Chain A
Amino acid sequence: DVKVTQSSRYLVKRTGEKVFLECVQDMDHENMFWYRQDPGLGLRLIYFSYDVKMKEKGDIPEGYSVSREKKERFSLILESASTNQTSMYLCASFRNTEAFFGQGTRLTVV
């Protein structure tokens, strides 16, 4: 089975902190995505990557950056966390037509 692992299930950070969310997949997939999930808004794409060191902005990239130094790892970075970034963050990797999701990281910024 494909496994997508997000490093934390729950995080609490302070406003202004630099926050790293890590995602690792074990199936050698080229395409990886970071989504943000908020009630009533569904999943919104933050960034995606289709290869090592390649990244593309999604629909809501402001306040975020990403890093993909190795194929299996895709990191989401909040440069200076703000309270409006309190949300559920979902990482996914893609094979052909199917997406495989991690368990999600629920981030609270106080």
Chain B
Amino acid sequence: AQSVTQLGSHVSVSEGALVLLRCNYSSSVPPYLFWYVQYPNQGLQLLLKYTTGATLVKGINGFEAEFKKSETSFHLTKPSAHMSDAAEYFCAVRLGGSYIPTFGRGTSLIVHP
């Protein structure tokens, strides 16, 4: 079985500050891990993904995430927040033998001027 926990339903940062969105997963086998972003009244868009190889993954819009197996974590970071980063962010996990991803409940990122 697989599950995803996103810590914090809302995260508020100032423009220019570090963004950290937390994601922990449970999986009995090495997983595929994803971060998606959803802007208001839009569908989800892939930010980045980890499948195999390098554990630090870079995505679009300056975001990156690091797969830490020992901590079962895949936290999303961005060095400097921009107003346009305000959106809902979803972490997802998928086991290698399955094509069904499990999504976290989402974290709403609020960026203050």
Interface residues of A (CB under 8 A from B): 4, 9, 31, 33, 35, 40-43, 45, 48, 50, 58, 90, 92, 94, 97-99, 101-104, 106
Q: Can you list 17 A-B contacts (CB < 8 A)?
A: A33-B100, A40-B9, A42-B90, A42-B103, A42-B104, A42-B106, A43-B103, A45-B100, A48-B100, A90-B44, A97-B49, A99-B34, A99-B92, A99-B101, A101-B45, A104-B41, A104-B43
Interface size on B, residues (CB 8 A): 22
Check if B94 sits within 8 Å of A97, measured CB to CB.
Answer: yes
Interface residues, chain B, with chain A CB atoms under 8 Å away: 9, 32, 34, 36, 41-46, 49, 51, 90, 92, 94, 99-101, 103-106
- Choose from A33, A94, A103 the contact partner of B43 (Cβ within 8 Å): A103
Secondary structure type dominating chain A contacts: strand
Report A-chain residues with C-beta under 8 Å of the C-beta of B43. 4, 90, 92, 101-104
A94 with B99: CB separation less than 8 A: yes
In the complex the two chains form, what is the Cα distance from A35 to B90 in whole Å?
14
In the complex, the chain A residue whose C-beta lies closest to that of B44 is A101
With most chain B CB atoms within 10 A of its CB, the pick from A48, A50, A99 is A99
Give CA–CA (A110, B90) in the complex, Å: 29
Contacts of A103 in B (CB 8 A): 41-43
Q: Which A residues are CB-close (under 8 A) to B106?
A: 42
- Nearest Cβ distance between residue B42 and chain A, in whole angstroms? 6
Which 6 pairs of residues, A with B, have the shortest CB-CB distance?
A101-B43, A42-B105, A43-B103, A101-B44, A103-B43, A42-B103
